Amino acid sequence: MMERTLEEILEAMRTDTTLPLTPATLVFGEGSAVARVMFIGEAPGAEEDKQGRPFVGRGGQLLRKEIRRIGWKEENVYITNIVKRRPPENRDPTPEEIEAYRPYLKEQIRAINPELIVALGRFSMNYFLPEAKISRDQGKVFILLGKKIFPIFHPAAALRNPEMMRGFIGAFDKLPVALNSRTGNKDI
């Protein structure tokens, strides 16, 4: 299979009539096409569906604030979701929906080739690490197929739970070290 650019992947998604959750807005992702860090959540919410951009609601505002707080620039990272359209009533994506969007996310990851994937929440974490538990494994680095995977609480969940918020901020503080580490040391 020929490797496609992000623009070519987006165009393929726009014309793929088999993808579930249409007519919801396609929220492809945004940021640098050569990002060293890729943030991946589960699916767009209501605000993302309205704006056609990932992580722009309350949880997204927290995510973007934390990216800036640790000295990174939003335009230098890439932000997306596994599922690219909002499930009805903001429900969790189904396994079938995740599976339908999987090839496109794989292509996005291949096209961007990040060093570090920050899995936002349990759905994203379990996409990469099916046996992991978010409460146990968030803030640790795992190596999968040559990529560093860094699970972290979902920012929307952190907004609802003070203990998760502490964990989210603490894990965020570790991101620069995780990016620059050479191994999958789980105790970074």
Taken in order 157, 161, 163, 165, the sign of the CA dihedral is positive
Q: How far apart are CA 129 and CA 111, in angstroms?
A: 21
Percent of the chain with pLDDT over 90: 93
| Cα 47 to Cα 86: distance, rounded to the nearest angstrom | 10
What pLDDT was estimated at residue 184?
A: 55
Class assignment of domain 6-180?
alpha beta
Condensed to tens digits (0 to 9), the pLDDT of residues 46-56 reads 999 999 999 99
Give CA–CA dist 22/60, Å, rounded.
23
pLDDT tens-digit profile of 17-57? 999 999 899 999 999 999 999 999 999 999 999 999 999 99
Q: Looking at the predicted structure, is the pLDDT value of residue 188 above 70?
A: no
What's at 180, amino acid-wise?
N
Q: Which residues contact 119 (CB under 8 A, 6 or more apart)?
A: 40, 125, 127, 128, 129, 149, 150, 151, 152
Q: Give me the count of residues in the chain.
A: 188
What residue spans define the domains of the chain?
6-180
Q: What is the pTM of this model?
A: 0.95
